[in-house]
A and B are shown apart, each in its own frame.
Chain A
Amino acid sequence: MVDIGHLMLILALTCAGYSIFVSIYGARKNREDLTRSGEHALFGVMFLVTLAVFTLWQQIFAHDFHNEYVVGYSNRAMPTFYTVASLWGGQKGSLLFWGWLLTVFAALAVYLNRHKNRELMPYVVAVLMGGAMFFIALNVFVSQPFEKLWQLEGTTQVIKAIMQPANSIPYAAPDGRGLNPLLQHPAMAIHPPILYMGFVGFSIPFAFALAALISGRLDSQWLKTIRRWTLVPWFFLGIGMILGGKWAYMELGWGGYWAWDPVENAALMPWLAATAFIHSTMIQEKKNMLKVWNMSLILLTYVLCIFGTFLTRSGVVSSVHSFARSEIGPWFVGYLVLLIFVPVLLIIKRLPQLKTTQHFDSVISRESAFLINNLIFLGALFAVFWGTIFPIVTEAIRGVKITVAEPFFNKVTIPIGLFLLLLTGVGPLVAWRKTSSNLMKKFFLKPILVSLLGLTIMLAFGIRHFYALVSLTLSIFVTSTIVAEFHRGARARMRTNQEGYFVALIRLLQRNKRRYGGYIVHFGIVVMFVGFTGKAFDTEKEAHLKPGESMQIRSYTLTYKGFKTFEDSNKVVWQAEMDVYKGGKMVKTIYPNKHYYIVQEQPTTEVVLRSTLLEDLYVVLAQPNDDKSAVFKVYINPLVNLVWLSGLIITLGTFIILLPDNPLKSKVAAQRAKIAQHEIA
């Protein structure tokens, strides 16, 4: 008997095929009964995949070690929290999880548009179900999460198969192998689903863009519809990367959080494209320009999501945390080819309708500032892309794999990043169209003075690191432009509405969520850059200490008191004890650990931190010796906490942007905007 979960997936696949067919046919023949039926089928697919997911979860929780996947990624000893994560801990489960998220997002999008965008929706449904079919098909044919273990009768040989092979009896392993202990960390448990919400979420704007191309409804309606649908996955992708960084920092014990690993780049690339898109759509909304460009950017974003997944899963590039080489590579290549060719052909076909009537007015205008922003984002994307696929390209052309690593990426992306930081300050202030030099002076004089003052202070304190000086000066500049914007806006409200300063600030934020929420996100980016800059001032030291001995690093003295060893049901623990003194005063006792997981035969390094906003003291127990001496690796990482903090600020800003507008007020605002536009024209 085939597993019920597998059966659900087969049904879902059929149902998705039906949905595509009736949606397209219904749209062509103008038959609403058919297109509605397509939408209902989409809900059905969501329902069926949900059942399959819960079937797998049920098997994981019931410790059903007849299922090969359950054996591979869970065991009896794992805490419940991580047992939930077993669903996406391995390749097969994570593909199922991906497909599930896709159908859930699709159902939500279709539901929210049940009275809107009627000409677009059938094609949106068809595109989304096409994507769903791809992932479900992978689960049905290639990477099957419901494969069972079977023992051939009369032998000790165990094989895996969906259907019971002849002459075999069901076999259940006594216990599973469990999730890799390295992955048993809170940040790691939520990092994959959040990252996936990013990757998968871009399917929705992609589907709307493609639907607009297919149906020829190329006015800005589709763009308006997907505004939130773009921001949400963009946000998840960003937060997912930060969480991944946090996990690497806490769990891998090498003192850093980003290594330009292909898997990390796989998430960064679509994020860069999406960030460019989020900026350039504002031009299309306001001025109806850059239609082809925007269309291409959102299609590119989705292609990069799939490309990133392909990189991670196919084993074409070597990475620390990639899944193993597997047979799904060719499937992804096929899907990618389809994803590139169909949109390109459609764009060419619709080119006449996508032509813009407006033109750029000036080199220094907000449009051109946005376009330069886009150019730089794509430049960064280009650099990361080439760096990532360089081994594949060189192997194909020259027969030898040539890899570029961290130094290359730092060399190229640091200047690009700093230029983007500068634009973060300049771009939003350069008015639409031509900017008068008077206005420029008014907006920029104070921020420039403040940042020069900051620069002088940093020089006086002896900071000589070039990039650090540039980065920090720019950060001060951007921050002061943002503060000035809030201040100007609040003052204007105080005058016109007779409000107090604080009320004015809050109202300002309420009335212009996108603009001022955007500023908050920008401020988060500034904080993140300051955090990155801390890297320029880090230091590390290694020491071999006997109990009672001390080591010195910057203003810290660490006194090693010895270690104890103890054991619990699944691991052996070496726990060192150290007193931390700063400037002669004892501040903390820390216990760096090394664990050894018995079942998995794997050690894990448990880093300890003495963390302040200014710097982290990061201590690794690298090697406990038999004579009670131990080797420690100690890092001082300045400003790292700002990177995590920036995630919170970006979350706050995004949340404000996403808040629904008061419908009445937004109508008034739209009217005003119309009048304003007339006045400008």
Chain B
Amino acid sequence: MAKKKIKITFAFTIISGLLIWLTLSGFEGEMQYSIGIKEVKAMGEAAFDQGLRVKGFLVPGTLQRSQNSLEVNFVIEDAGQEMAVRYAKVLPDTFKDGAEVLVVGKYQREGYFDAQILMAKCPSKYETGQEYDIKNYDPSKHIDELEGTN
């Protein structure tokens, strides 16, 4: 009985060990550092061979599409710092001026960010944390409707 118990415990320990090793070794080479635009520029040489996640807002008017490919170039801005980004896949539908953009990829020696993944959150949509945007409405025009829903 005791021998069996040892055997079983041994088998389970090996399996658990393998699983933990598999997970921990999986992290290697797959880590992306979330940093600000300012920090990217301050990193110097180290920035070029590191997976990076950078957040910023699409600067209105900077988006340049190409006629014959998916490649787009644009500038994102955060805390007064700007960074040029190049992306060559289908843009998410939420990508538009002023959108919060998260780009994942590598910073290039030529001074632009080569994005492999791009996520965009439009400023006002799925979210509710946002305050209700009333600027679009002029209440004085809708007095009749005001009374209707009283």
Chain A interface residues toward B at CB < 8 A? 64-66, 68, 71-72, 90-92, 143, 149, 151, 156-158, 160, 169-174, 177, 180, 182-183, 252-254, 315, 318, 320-326, 359-363, 368, 371-372, 375-376, 379, 382-383, 386-387, 390-391, 400-405, 407-408, 411-412, 415-416, 542, 544, 600-605, 620, 622-623, 625, 627, 629, 631, 633
Contacts and interface: CB of A to CB of B under 8 A. Distances in A.
Contacts, number: 190
Contacts of B20: 379, 382
Interface of B: 1, 4-5, 7-8, 11-12, 15-16, 19-20, 22-23, 26-27, 30-35, 53, 55, 65, 67-70, 89-94, 96, 102, 104, 117, 119, 121-122, 124-130, 132, 134, 137-142, 145-146, 148-150
A326 B140 CA distance: 31
Nearest to B29: A407
Contacts of A170: 146, 149-150
B129 A174 contact: no
B28 to A, nearest CB: 9
Given A321-B126, A400-B34, A412-B26, A625 B67 contact: yes
B96 A254 contact: no
A383 B26 contact: yes
Given A400-B34, A402-B33, A416 B129 contact: no
A401 B125 contact: no
B149 A182 contact: no
A405 B12 CA distance: 29
B12 A623 contact: no
A415 B18 CA distance: 11
Contact of B129 (A66, A173, A324): A324
B72 to A, nearest CB: 9
Contact of A158 (B4, B26, B134): B134
Given A158-B134, A375-B15, A404-B31, A412 B92 contact: no
Contacts of A622: 70, 90-91
A375 B137 CA distance: 57
Contact of A160 (B8, B35, B132, B139): B132
B12 A375 contact: yes
Nearest to A384: B23
B102 to A, nearest CB: 6
List 3 A-B pairs, minimum CB-CB distance, nearest first. A324-B129, A324-B127, A379-B19
Most buried by B among A64, A90, A143, A542: A542
A320 B134 CA distance: 25
Contact of A403 (B15, B31, B70, B150): B31
Contacts of A627: 67
B128 A90 contact: yes
A172 B142 contact: yes
A601 B96 contact: yes
A372 B93 CA distance: 44
Contact of A68 (B89, B122, B127, B132): B132
A359 B5 contact: yes
B30 A408 contact: yes
A601 B93 CA distance: 10
28 contacts: A65-B149, A66-B149, A90-B126, A91-B129, A92-B128, A180-B126, A253-B93, A315-B129, A324-B127, A326-B128, A326-B129, A362-B4, A363-B4, A368-B11, A375-B15, A379-B16, A382-B23, A387-B26, A400-B34, A402-B31, A403-B104, A404-B31, A408-B26, A408-B30, A412-B22, A544-B68, A601-B96, A602-B93
Nearest to B30: A408
A43 to B, nearest CB: 31
A379 B33 CA distance: 25
A156 B68 contact: no
A151 B23 CA distance: 55
Contact of B15 (A143, A173, A372): A372
B142 to A, nearest CB: 5
Nearest to A540: B89
Contacts of A325: 129
A72 B128 contact: yes
A627 B67 CA distance: 9
Contact of A633 (B12, B65, B90): B90
Contact of B23 (A157, A160, A362, A383): A383
Contacts of B19: 375-376, 379, 382-383, 416
Given A602-B96, A620-B90, A631-B69, A360 B8 contact: yes
